[in-house]
Chains A and B, each alone.
Chain A
Amino acid sequence: MIAVTIRDLSKSFGDHLVLDHIDLRIEPGELFFLLGPSGCGKTTLLRHLAGFYYPDHGQILFDDQDVSRVPPYKRGTGMMFQSYALWPHLTVAGNVAFGLEERKTPRAEIRKRVDEALASVGMTSFADRKINQLSGGQQQRVALARALVIRPRCLLLDEPLSNLDAKMRLQMRGEIRRVCKEFGLTAIYVTHDQKEALSIADRLAILDKGHLVQVGTPRDIYRHPRTKVVADFIGESNFIEGRALEPIENSEHWRVSTALGEFTGLKPDANWDLHVGEPVVLSIRPESWKLREAARTDGVATVNVLRGRIGRSIYLGEVAEYDFQPRVEGGDGDAAALKIYELNPRFMEVTDNTEITARAAPDDVVVLHP
């Protein structure tokens, strides 16, 4: 179990800056995710950890050892490749044994450890199969066993589930977390699938265009994104531009004026010295809104309430997606529609003409950098 530290790491390919001054520390035994849209540099960063690239600038530390320029075959990482990269000329057992053979492990021990590794991923009965006789899910398990059997200093996973169907993915992601925790491994996992990251990560980092934009726990990142990019990439969100009016005393909340009226929202970035009158962006998740008929007058909320009508709606069974058209007081009524999700949908039946109110709790309204 090691800590992985990335210090001020930069990398360019030609003129293209792929990684821009990355600073990151991954704790021992942590299952850490690198997440971002394609081309954000997450795979490049992982390949730096494996040693397939050397940084132009900065360092990579495994505990206190600087491995920045250690070649891949001396790093002792175990990597799972997106394509699995199993060798078709070797059997399942041959693939798993490879790393141990390279380490000059005694024959008897190789047998024992290969058996154990195959057992831990439930592939014991496939030991003598050829790789092309395995299904995608089985290949995935062999690739995991091959990476684990060498007792790697850390486990590197490059979109290991992207070639599986949805059901297998669901099953395997639980499996990967179980194995990592069982072996007490520091694991760095690259994916663009936010569900994968949110469901099994201890912590995750969001990369965008070579920058590290936010690091945190899944809940922290989802609930309190620091930038619009993060809010947009993880889940969906409605963005409303506005201006800071005033801070609310003894809290992290601010009042913000927008074209849709006044909102109260949470400013999660404590380091951000926001001034009155500064432009900001509000991020409100579609599922944060609560809908009710405007005609109902009981228990009326006073903050973060919009009046409007439901335009287009899509019924998805457990949930419905609405385009909510807010009515702007004194305006010309052309404000952009907001996306609202309703679990256990009721408002599907509401006609176009019924006025609806939509309300969001102040803690669900996030104040972001514009």
Chain B
Amino acid sequence: MSRVLAILVYVLTAAFFAVFFIYPVAQTLRGAFVTADHGISFIYVKEVFRNPVYVEGLQNAFLLAVCSTLATFVLSLPLAWLADRFEFAGKKLLTALLLAPMVLPPFVGAIGIRKIFGQEGAFNALLQSVGILGPDHAIDWLGQNRFWGVVALNALHLYPILYLNVAAALANVDPAMEEAAENLGCTGFRKFFKITLPLITPGVFAGGTIVFIWAFTELGVPLIFDYTRVTPVQIFYGIKDIGSNPFPYALVAVMLVATVLLYAISRLTFGRKAGDLTMMAKATSRGGARTIRPAAGVACAAAFAVVIFLALLPHFGVVLVAFSRDWYGTILPHSFTLDNFRAGLGHSLTVPSIGNSLKYALVSTVFDAGLGISIAYVVVRTRFPGRQLLDALAMLPLAVPGLVLAFGYIAMTQEGRPLAFLNPTRNPVPLLIIAYAVRRLPYMVRSAAAGYQQTSVTLEEAAQNLGCPPWRTLYRVTLPLIAANLLAGGLLTFSFAMLEVSDSLLLAQKQEYYPITKAIYELFQLLGSGRGIASALGVWAMAFLGTTILGASLLLGKRMGALFRA
């Protein structure tokens, strides 16, 4: 019975992945390595490394990723440690707010940041009003430091992923391990570096890998900052002449190889180790957070507050832009208005885009839920020989950036190819939904698998023993027991589908099918009231996604970290 199910799931998943994951990636690689006369050659890739513009783009993308990842470490490691060890006033609220940056795609936040740190922005106005800057010495903060602007926005958007991973890893460390170290005379920083840090390494690197890949392939933020000398943006602009130009293919291939290598190294190095460590790290007692002196408590809370403030700065900016009539050279806008929201309701881009995004996200989430539940079942509950491969396959989208996948979709639907009927210039809806589904499947598989793993098999056996066939057991016992996991996974899948940037920007090529993110991007480029309306749309997205993510974190608590693991 379960064997038939296993084979069915296996075949369906494998077919789906073959067509919508491996085939597009293969098409991209083909474009990069096969020349016009059908010979295999490294000429295009070599050419990429010879062209100074492309080399600079790759260097910048790599540096962006390194700096963004380091910055997320600096932000999230201390906070996770403080939250794990100490009890202080407002901790629950602060740790929840820490996840707030995830409710907005960073490129939308970039709109707000430009308003705050631009030459005529709020920050200069603030400096001028307190007399640090002369009235005529406005500094173009972002014009000079675009690179660091992108790093800051990446870090402020991505640190929650690392934070959740580290927090989960710390929660899993058996307090007895640290007590044993103390008992043997090892305390303080020595203990942290010799015992605690090695034990949480798998969690740290699992989160770090995802952050790195994300930052390496980030498209929206550099676009909004006009930071064009970076590979993802170069690929984005290269889409226009994809039919004739092999270099976008070569660029995508280079990015793909880099991310997959990184992902594979991280999995091989820390994946196995994670198994060893979790085995040992089964907690025998609950350590619990310590209450500390009020002054120290305030210091902890302040550390959280500062990070949250910085992380929400782009959001404030977006909200202010959305509600302002005009905001130019002052700390706060002169006057507030609902005009942008009103204009948004009338604009041909906004309302349909909200409807589109809801529709795409919903369909892809339902699809992911079905696939995720089945895959996780086969992986966790059966002894089917190919199950590890299935597991690896389902996690692979984490290593392949949305940019690469979307590029592959465009490549595989070019005129004359077998899947040309899906070409996004005609109707991008199927490809958008599939792209969202493929990209977010890992979260659903992880959350369902975590649910199965936490649920003892004997609970299912007990049902069968009392006369309940396997499929009814799934429905009567297993699914109700893992409902919280599924709901949380579904909410995250849904939210992230709503937030998809790179594949939305690339694939949605017809205005009537634009999802929210593409609409925001297009509105942003309109002169006049465009930025205001874009921000208003961003506010809607924030409110909406804030609610869903809050719901997910309430459902899962600390277990949420498990969803963001490579």
Partner-B contacts on A (CB < 8 A): 50-52, 71-79, 81-83, 85-89, 98-99, 102-103, 146-147, 150, 156
Q: Is B1's CB within 8 Å of the partner chain A?
A: yes
Further contacts, 17 of them, CB under 8 A, given A85-B456, A102-B466, A102-B467: A51-B465, A72-B465, A73-B464, A73-B465, A73-B466, A73-B468, A74-B467, A75-B465, A77-B465, A78-B466, A79-B462, A81-B462, A85-B461, A85-B462, A87-B463, A99-B466, A102-B468
Given the complex, which residues of A lie within 8 Å of B470, measured CB to CB?
73
Q: Is B469's CB within 8 Å of the partner chain A?
A: yes
Q: Are B461 and A81 closer than 8 Å at their CB atoms?
A: yes
Q: Is B477's CB within 8 Å of the partner chain A?
A: yes
Of A87, A102, A146, which contacts B459 at CB under 8 A?
Answer: A87
**Bound Cα distance A25, B465 (Å):** 22
Q: Are A99 and B459 closer than 8 Å at their CB atoms?
A: no
Q: Are A88 and B465 closer than 8 Å at their CB atoms?
A: no
Interface string of B448-485 (1 = CB under 8 A from A): 00000000101101111111111010001100110100
Least CB distance, A244 to chain B, in whole angstroms? 49
Q: Are B456 and A89 closer than 8 Å at their CB atoms?
A: no
Given contacts A71-B1, A72-B461, contact A87 B477 (CB under 8 A): yes
Q: Are A99 and B1 closer than 8 Å at their CB atoms?
A: no
Given the complex, which residues of A lie within 8 Å of B458, measured CB to CB?
81-83, 85
Given the complex, which residues of B lie within 8 Å of A76, measured CB to CB?
467
Given the complex, which residues of A lie within 8 Å of B468, measured CB to CB?
73, 98, 102
**Bound Cα distance A52, B465 (Å):** 9
Q: Are A52 and B466 closer than 8 Å at their CB atoms?
A: no
Given the complex, which residues of B lie within 8 Å of A83, measured CB to CB?
456, 458
Of A51, A88, A89, A146, which contacts B466 at CB under 8 A?
Answer: A146
**For residue B473, which residue of chain A has the nearest CB?**
A73
Q: Are A88 and B464 closer than 8 Å at their CB atoms?
A: no
**For residue B472, which residue of chain A has the nearest CB?**
A102
Given contacts A83-B456, A85-B458, A89-B481, contact A98 B464 (CB under 8 A): no
Q: Are A73 and B467 closer than 8 Å at their CB atoms?
A: yes
Q: Are A71 and B465 closer than 8 Å at their CB atoms?
A: no
Given the complex, which residues of A lie within 8 Å of B483, measured CB to CB?
89
Least CB distance, B488 to chain A, in whole angstroms? 16
Given the complex, which residues of A lie within 8 Å of B472, measured CB to CB?
102
- Greatest chain B CB density within 10 A among A71, A88, A102 is at A102
Given the complex, which residues of B lie within 8 Å of A87, measured CB to CB?
459, 462-463, 477, 481
| 22 pairs, A vs B, C-beta closer than 8 Å | A50-B465, A72-B464, A73-B467, A75-B465, A76-B467, A77-B465, A78-B466, A79-B462, A79-B465, A81-B461, A83-B458, A85-B456, A86-B462, A87-B477, A88-B481, A89-B481, A98-B468, A98-B476, A99-B466, A102-B463, A102-B466, A147-B465
**For residue A88, which residue of chain B has the nearest CB?**
B481
**Bound Cα distance A83, B460 (Å):** 12
Q: Are B465 and A89 closer than 8 Å at their CB atoms?
A: no
Indicate the size class of the contact surface on chain B: 20 to 34
Q: Are A103 and B467 closer than 8 Å at their CB atoms?
A: yes
**For residue B466, which residue of chain A has the nearest CB?**
A99
Q: Are B467 and A99 closer than 8 Å at their CB atoms?
A: yes
**For residue B480, which residue of chain A has the nearest CB?**
A89
Q: Are B462 and A73 closer than 8 Å at their CB atoms?
A: no
Partner-A contacts on B (CB < 8 A): 1, 456, 458-459, 461-470, 472, 476-477, 480-481, 483
**Bound Cα distance A51, B470 (Å):** 13
- Greatest chain A CB density within 10 A among B456, B458, B462, B463 is at B462
Given the complex, which residues of A lie within 8 Å of B465, measured CB to CB?
50-51, 72-73, 75, 77-79, 147, 156
Q: Are A71 and B464 closer than 8 Å at their CB atoms?
A: yes
- Greatest chain B CB density within 10 A among A73, A82, A89, A156 is at A73
**Bound Cα distance A156, B481 (Å):** 25
**Bound Cα distance A115, B503 (Å):** 59
Of B1, B461, B469, B480, which contacts A52 at CB under 8 A?
Answer: B461
Least CB distance, A142 to chain B, in whole angstroms? 12
**Bound Cα distance A81, B1 (Å):** 23
Given the complex, which residues of B lie within 8 Å of A77, measured CB to CB?
465
Given the complex, which residues of B lie within 8 Å of A150, measured CB to CB?
466-467
**Bound Cα distance A365, B462 (Å):** 46
Least CB distance, A1 to chain B, in whole angstroms? 19
**For residue B467, which residue of chain A has the nearest CB?**
A102
Q: Are B481 and A98 closer than 8 Å at their CB atoms?
A: no
**For residue A98, which residue of chain B has the nearest CB?**
B466
**For residue B458, which residue of chain A has the nearest CB?**
A85
Least CB distance, A158 to chain B, in whole angstroms? 9
Given the complex, which residues of B lie within 8 Å of A102, measured CB to CB?
463, 466-468, 472
Closest 7 CB pairs of A and B: A99-B466, A85-B462, A85-B458, A102-B467, A72-B464, A79-B465, A89-B480
**For residue B479, which residue of chain A has the nearest CB?**
A89
**Bound Cα distance A52, B473 (Å):** 14
**Bound Cα distance A73, B467 (Å):** 4
Least CB distance, A314 to chain B, in whole angstroms? 31
Least CB distance, B278 to chain A, in whole angstroms? 21
Least CB distance, A174 to chain B, in whole angstroms? 24
**Bound Cα distance A51, B1 (Å):** 13
**Bound Cα distance A102, B464 (Å):** 10
Given the complex, which residues of A lie within 8 Å of B481, measured CB to CB?
87-89
Least CB distance, B523 to chain A, in whole angstroms? 46
Least CB distance, B3 to chain A, in whole angstroms? 12
**Bound Cα distance A260, B352 (Å):** 99
Given the complex, which residues of B lie within 8 Å of A98, measured CB to CB?
463, 466, 468, 476
Given the complex, which residues of B lie within 8 Å of A146, measured CB to CB?
462, 466
Given the complex, which residues of B lie within 8 Å of A50, measured CB to CB?
461, 465
**Bound Cα distance A229, B458 (Å):** 31
**For residue A52, which residue of chain B has the nearest CB?**
B461
**For residue B476, which residue of chain A has the nearest CB?**
A98
Least CB distance, A262 to chain B, in whole angstroms? 54
Least CB distance, B253 to chain A, in whole angstroms? 43
Least CB distance, B466 to chain A, in whole angstroms? 3
Given the complex, which residues of A lie within 8 Å of B480, measured CB to CB?
89
**Bound Cα distance A77, B483 (Å):** 29
Least CB distance, A92 to chain B, in whole angstroms? 14
Q: Are A73 and B469 closer than 8 Å at their CB atoms?
A: yes
Least CB distance, B444 to chain A, in whole angstroms? 21
Least CB distance, A45 to chain B, in whole angstroms? 16
Given the complex, which residues of B lie within 8 Å of A86, measured CB to CB?
462
Given the complex, which residues of A lie within 8 Å of B476, measured CB to CB?
98
Least CB distance, B199 to chain A, in whole angstroms? 28
- Greatest chain A CB density within 10 A among B456, B461, B469, B472 is at B461
**Bound Cα distance A156, B466 (Å):** 12
Given the complex, which residues of A lie within 8 Å of B461, measured CB to CB?
50, 52, 72, 79, 81, 85
**Bound Cα distance A72, B473 (Å):** 12
**Bound Cα distance A13, B315 (Å):** 58
**Bound Cα distance A192, B463 (Å):** 25
**For residue A75, which residue of chain B has the nearest CB?**
B465
**Bound Cα distance A52, B470 (Å):** 12
Given the complex, which residues of A lie within 8 Å of B462, measured CB to CB?
79, 81, 85-87, 146
Least CB distance, B476 to chain A, in whole angstroms? 8
Least CB distance, A91 to chain B, in whole angstroms? 13
- Greatest chain B CB density within 10 A among A51, A82, A87 is at A87
**Bound Cα distance A87, B468 (Å):** 14
Of B1, B459, B467, B469, which contacts A85 at CB under 8 A?
Answer: B459
Least CB distance, A348 to chain B, in whole angstroms? 39
